[in-house]
């Protein structure tokens, strides 16, 4: 897929549209000349809306707010692209791998002294339905195909896939290609997915059930989730104690 890349109004922009159309879309977004047709999410972490702009098909508009607010994540953008750019590139990579997902349209980021201060991106809206129980194996096949090509996806759970005319579409993802321990990382990624299913063992193959690597990664992910849950409880406890202390 051809892509234009340029700087406009202090923003770095990449787009699958011709430059003139990309500028028109960017201006419409910045000036809020669009109609919100659905509001999926609007909180401290991110804004996700389905919007309609004259001259364009309906699209999803996303602003990853928390990524731009955390100081340590801002500092990381000295060495890497913004969340918006990385999501845009992930969609292009997914298409190149022969898998289906949303089509990236435009991503923009604004830097100050090398640090990304803000970013946003747009992509096509994927019509479809959540996978039914009997379609779970198709989703697992798509995950296996991704892993065979050496990639993992973020937030691997059934709700982050859409079925359209019997085909699996990836949504709400960012791809990663592990440089080291690729097989281990891909196996862990699959274990994360399995542990979001109500009857995960029903979908495991005999090879997976007998694989030492798979069983090890499966248990390791459980340990990670237990530690994450414990850490959140500790943070919540101390946060409530501090609130009580300052009130008194």
The domain that contains 166 carries what CATH number?
A: 1.10.510
Domain count, the chain: 2
pLDDT given for residue 149 in this prediction? 96
- Beta bridge partners of residue 85, listed in sequence order: none
Give yes or no: residues 95 and 207 share one domain.
no
How is residue 239 written in tokens? 């946060």
Give yes or no: residues 19 and 104 share one domain.
yes
Give yes or no: residues 11 and 59 share one domain.
yes
pLDDT digits (tens, 9 = 90+) for 17-47: 999 999 999 999 999 999 999 999 999 889 9
Give yes or no: residues 93 and 8 share one domain.
yes
- The CATH number for 76's domain is 3.30.200
Give yes or no: residues 12 and 113 share one domain.
yes
245 inside domain: no
110 inside domain: yes
Give yes or no: residues 82 and 35 share one domain.
yes
pLDDT given for residue 248 in this prediction? 59
pTM reported for the whole predicted model: 0.87
Band of pLDDT at residue 237, cut at 50, 70 and 90: confident
Give yes or no: residues 120 and 35 share one domain.
yes
User: Which residues form the domain of 137?
Assistant: 133-225
pLDDT given for residue 129 in this prediction? 94
pLDDT at 242 over 80: no
Q: Which of 124, 150, 181 is the last residue of a domain?
A: 124
Residue 37: CB atoms within 10 A of its CB come to 12
231 inside domain: no
Give yes or no: residues 137 and 104 share one domain.
no
Give yes or no: residues 11 and 90 share one domain.
yes
241 inside domain: no
Band of pLDDT at residue 238, cut at 50, 70 and 90: confident
248 inside domain: no
Give yes or no: residues 149 and 111 share one domain.
no
Residue 162: CB atoms within 10 A of its CB come to 21
230 inside domain: no
What is the distance between the alpha carbons of residues 106 and 15, in angstroms, rounded to a whole number? 4
What is the distance between the alpha carbons of residues 199 and 197, in angstroms, rounded to a whole number? 6
22 inside domain: yes
Q: What are phi and psi of 103, to 5 degrees?
A: -95, 125
Q: Which of 85, 101, 124 is the last residue of a domain?
A: 124
Q: Which of 90, 124, 158 is the last residue of a domain?
A: 124
Band of pLDDT at residue 99, cut at 50, 70 and 90: very high
What is the distance between the alpha carbons of residues 150 and 152, in angstroms, rounded to a whole number? 7
pLDDT at 68 over 70: no
pLDDT digits (tens, 9 = 90+) for 147-178: 999 999 999 999 999 999 999 999 999 999 99
195 inside domain: yes
pLDDT digits (tens, 9 = 90+) for 108-148: 999 999 999 999 999 999 999 999 989 999 999 999 999 99
Tokens 């050496």 — which residue?
Answer: 150
Band of pLDDT at residue 84, cut at 50, 70 and 90: very high
Band of pLDDT at residue 75, cut at 50, 70 and 90: confident
Give yes or no: residues 214 and 114 share one domain.
no
Give yes or no: residues 150 and 115 share one domain.
no
pLDDT at 236 over 80: yes
User: What is each CA distance from 228 to 50, 143, 218, in whole angstroms?
Assistant: 32, 24, 16
What is the distance between the alpha carbons of residues 95 and 49, in angstroms, rounded to a whole number? 23
How is residue 69 written in tokens? 């607010």
pLDDT given for residue 244 in this prediction? 67
């Amino acid at each position: 897929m051809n892509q234009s890349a340029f700087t406009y109004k202090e923003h770095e922009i990449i787009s699958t549209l011709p430059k003139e159309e990309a500028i028109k879309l960017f201006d419409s977004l910045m000036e809020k000349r669009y109609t919100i047709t659905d509001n999926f999410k609007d909180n401290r972490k991110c804004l996700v809306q389905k919007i309609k702009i004259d001259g364009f098909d309906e699209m999803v508009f996303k602003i990853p707010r928390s990524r731009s607010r955390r100081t340590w994540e801002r500092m990381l953008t000295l060495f890497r692209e913004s969340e918006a750019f990385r999501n845009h590139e992930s969609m292009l990579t997914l298409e190149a791998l022969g898998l289906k997902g949303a089509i990236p349209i435009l991503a923009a980021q604004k830097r100050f002294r090398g640090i990304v201060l803000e970013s946003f991106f747009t992509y096509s809206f994927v019509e479809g339905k959540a996978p039914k129980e009997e379609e779970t194996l198709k989703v697992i096949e798509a995950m296996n195909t991704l892993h065979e090509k050496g990639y993992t996806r973020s937030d691997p759970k059934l709700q982050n896939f859409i079925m359209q005319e019997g085909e699996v579409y990836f949504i709400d993802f960012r791809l990663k290609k592990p440089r080291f321990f690729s097989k281990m990382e891909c196996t862990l990624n699959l274990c994360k997915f399995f542990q979001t299913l109500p009857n995960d063992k029903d979908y495991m193959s005999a090879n997976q059930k007998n694989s030492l690597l798979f069983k090890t990664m499966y248990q390791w992910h459980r340990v990670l989730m237990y530690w994450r849950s414990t850490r959140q409880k500790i943070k919540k406890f101390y946060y409530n104690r501090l609130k009580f202390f300052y009130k008194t």
